[in-house]
Structure 1
Amino acid sequence: MVETAWPGEEVVVAARAGDHASLAVLVEGAHPNVRRFAHSLCASPEDAEDAAQEALIILYRKVGMLRATGALASWLFRIVRNECLRRARSDRSAAGWPVPAEPLESADSAEEEALRRLDTERVAAAIAALPADQRRVLVMRDLQGLSGRTVADALGLSTAAMKSRLHRARATMRAELGGPR
């Protein structure tokens, strides 16, 4: 898997200060990570693209409000998560489902889609409920696909500490979602 590094702290600091060139580098550098996370969380590819775009628009507009440069990834991922949840809720609460031009192939496919969306919400809620240190490790390692050494270095941890946090996060997720122990 291709690893995509987040823009450096100096880029984030300059973007927060209003430097337009740094802001462009920041948005461009964050895009692959945000997009990958959205695709892993949203119910459909269209929703994922929209959620990623929304997160980048908010980044562009509100980067000056970001308090800590290290919080960039978790801030963007929270925006994506909220946008995916909002889209899933609005799909379910729509007054009427549009009538498809062709009949559905089977009743199971609509049911499976609804169950998949509910599972996505449960997973997103479980990730959001994790302590911040565990959530960062889980997102970087399992959702972004970064190597253990890269995650440990990015968070200033030893590999052993990163593995410990990842294990606790996965165990909490299994317990929350009712998976095997």
Structure 2
Amino acid sequence: MTSSEWSRQIAAWADEWHGDLIKFLARRMATPADAQDLAQEVYLRLARVDRLDLVRRPRSYLLRIAANLLHEWRFKARQVRPHHSEEVDKLTSSDDPERHALASMRSQRIGVELSRLPAPVRAALVLQIRDGLSYEEIAKEMAVTPRMVKRYLLTAYATLRATLPQDM
């Protein structure tokens, strides 16, 4: 048999018995996707057969290949040791380089925009965000009125909102 005749023969068998093959595998597998994967492997194994012309009952031959593959697949699945989530957590790194780079760029951009703010506005913002002080405490620290602190903070937030991108 030539390779093109061989390919046509395998294609004809696949057209005729693919449904039976999938049903056979699906009844024995956990998911339909696994059955489809194993069916593809059946056709790959069939393509490697040296003397396809010796096959007298092709449907039975296809199902025998499928049964053997199913046995191999189950054997391999039993050999795989189950893993615990702690082991998977060890494999994954919480230090994501992309996230770290984005955070660094974001921090630099915010630093640049903060340095452009007038000194009292910047000081009021830092005292509120970093130190968690109230308007009255900031006013006392800066020797201004609470109303002036409110103006400084409104100016700071409005300026930063206008100059920084929304996704920061």
Relative to the length of structure 1, the TM-score reads: 0.39
| Bigger relative contact order (CA 8 A; separation at least 6) | 1
Q: Which of the two has higher C-alpha Rg?
A: 2
